[in-house]
Copies of this chain bind each other. A is one copy, B any other.
Amino acid sequence: MSHFAPLHDSPYYAVIFTNRLSEDIFGYAEMADKMEKTAKEQPGYLGHESARDTAGFGITVSYWTDETAILAWKQVAEHLFAQKQGKAKWYDYYITRVARVERAYDGPENR
């Protein structure tokens, strides 16, 4: 569950999906797992990172080679179905931001 997406040569793209779950999350966990597996099979997928606190506030960042890959993933049939269910019941609110990663570094050094 807790993992880092590998570093990749810049530039590439990040989809920052910030969301708060509703109280009706029946089926959510299964769908999230399924979408994770499906995303990994898409052209241009580079990795993703996800964290959710105990209050139901979560951030998922997925990384892609370019905007074309992001737009294609948004239109994949299984993903369209998941998005529809998310809008109808699982998410109280969400923000999606698409951003171009320009530089990145990791740390701490010397460990």
Contact = CB atoms under 8 A, between A and B. Distances in A.
Give the copy number.
2
Interface residues of A, number: 45
Contact of A16 (B2, B53, B61): B61
Nearest to A109: B87
| Contact residues of A: prevailing secondary structure | strand
Interface string A46-58: 0001111111111
A18 B96 contact: no
Interface of A: 1-5, 7, 14, 16, 18, 20, 49-59, 61, 86-88, 91-109, 111
Contact of A2 (B4, B53, B61): B53
A75 to B, nearest CB: 16
Nearest to A95: B106
A99 B4 CA distance: 17
